[in-house]
Chain A
Amino acid sequence: MRRSVSIAGLAAALVLGTLGFGAVQRGYVANAQEKMSTMEVKIDNFSFGPVTLTVPVGTTVTWINRDDIPHTVVSTDDSKTFKSKVLDTDEKFSSTFSKAGTYPYFCSIHPKMTGKVIVQ
């Protein structure tokens, strides 16, 4: 009886261990994927940096406002792909690009500020 319990216990441990290991492995892969598929644009001194950002399809681009004045991120292509709310200092806006193409945008408050995301 003890042997069957111990075998059952061992089997359970093995299963749990595999599951656990699998989860860790998946988590590791997911983190690596996240790192590759998030890119940042810094907004400061009334400009987007970098002005032109080239990314692979599926990337999430995050704009972060480091200026001491609020800004927006509004796409100017025909389908108006993305439009942020007003971003005060340290606020962020993200958009995921699932289709290849060129996505010009500007700050609707300060229209001289323009930028572009190229998705390849």
Chain B
Amino acid sequence: MSEKKKDELLNDHNHDGVDRRGFLKCMAWAGTGAFCVIKGGVLNSYSLSRVSEVSTADMMGELSFVQISDSHMGFNKPANPDVAGTLKAAVNKINGLSATPEFMLHTGDISHLSKPEEFDTVDQILKSAKPKDVFYVPGEHDVLNDDGRQFLERYGKGSKGGGWYSFDKKGVHFVGLVNVMNLKAGGLGTLGHDQLEWLEDDVKHLKHSTSIVVFAHIPLWSVYPEWGWGTDDSVQALAYLKKFGSVTVLNGHIHQTMQKVEGNVTFHTAASTAFPQPAPGKADSPGPMKVPAEQLKSVLGITDVNYIQGKHALAVVDSSLV
């Protein structure tokens, strides 16, 4: 096993078990392709190239899929005047993976303004990806003007209510949730009573040993409520998943990679394929962040996920578009 970079908890000034300096250092690496996780206060980071060396055998798992997010087709401001180009680069990255993923998850903000031509363009670009099946959940940019009618028509076949659904792949249970509808003033993302009832029922009879993957647009944990980066009623959803030994939550919305491990739940947010956003509190607002053109692809990315039977957690690896 080649050496792993590992940072111990050196500075715990806030007495909350988080070494912020170490975490920020890791987040800087995330832009150039790193996998970071805080586990019980200890931050572990693995440079991407080392992960692929180390875990080639591990990567030959039962199931692999890719998460992409926040393609914002139609966005054309200075932060990225060519979001179609960077989405194509993401597809090339996916097609270049050593093992072709079985399918893709898109965690929302497919379009920027819910325009038909924007959805059409994304569909067209994703046609050239090797994984042919794509599962979607909407972002708030996908349900403008029509309460999500267009999104449901395009991507919601077989879904319930506002577009939630579940499916199984090789024994792993996937749940797509919608937390961008009926948002209340001053609030965060919201799942709503009907969806929570459906979720409780959906997982009720599953064996505790079933691996669960939940995907939704807005983070299901409180990343930064001041910027709306959280979900009002996700605690209830997570309560229904408490009995499972392995739960992976995949989100988008914040346009940067972030990880949190809480007991049996690993939360992970993906980078955008369109434009980055500032780290929590590092700017006045969570708007598109401009970076020098030559650095843009290093702060956009895809997430490769592998399930190996018998392993507790899914192997989640982010890579940038560079």
Chain A positions 57 through 89: 1 when the CB is less than 8 Å from some CB of chain B, otherwise 0: 000000000011110100010000000011011
Q: Which of A46, A69, A88, A106 contacts B186 (CB 8 A)?
A: A106
Name the segment of A13-21, A32-40, A109-117 touching the other chain.
A109-117
Known: A104-B185, A106-B185. A45 touches B112 (CB 8 A): no
User: Residues on B close to A: CB < 8 A?
Assistant: 77-79, 112-114, 140-141, 144-145, 183-188, 226-228, 284-288
Most buried by A among B141, B183, B184, B288: B183
Most chain B Cβ neighbours within 10 Å, of A47, A70, A89: A70
Is A109 a contact of B287 with CB atoms below 8 Å?
no
Closest-by-CB residue of A relative to B283 is A45
Q: Which residue of A lies closest to B72 (CB)?
A: A69
| In the complex, A52 has a CB within 8 A of chain B | no
Within 8 A of B (CB), among A98-120: 104-106, 108-112, 114
Residues of B within 8 A of A68 (CB): 77-79, 287-288
A76/B79 in contact, CB under 8 A: no
B285–A46 contact, CB under 8 A?
Answer: yes
A115 to B54, CA, bound (A): 52
CB distance from B291 to the nearest CB of A (A): 14
Complex Cα–Cα for A88 and B284 (A) = 20
Question: Shortest Cβ distance from A18 into chain B, in angstroms?
Answer: 51
**When the two chains form their complex, are residues A86 and B186 in contact, meaning their CB atoms are under 8 A apart?**
no
- Could you tell me if B284 and A111 are in contact, using CB atoms closer than 8 angstroms? no
Q: How far is the CA of A72 from the CA of B141 in the complex (A)?
A: 11
Q: Is the pair B186, A111 in contact by a Cβ cutoff of 8 Å?
A: yes
User: Does A70 contact B112, Cβ atoms closer than 8 Å?
Assistant: yes
Chain A: CB-nearest residue to B288: A68
B287 with A76: CB separation less than 8 A: no
| Other 5 A-B pairs with CB < 8 A, given A110-B140, A112-B227, A114-B185 | A70-B141, A89-B77, A109-B183, A111-B188, A112-B187
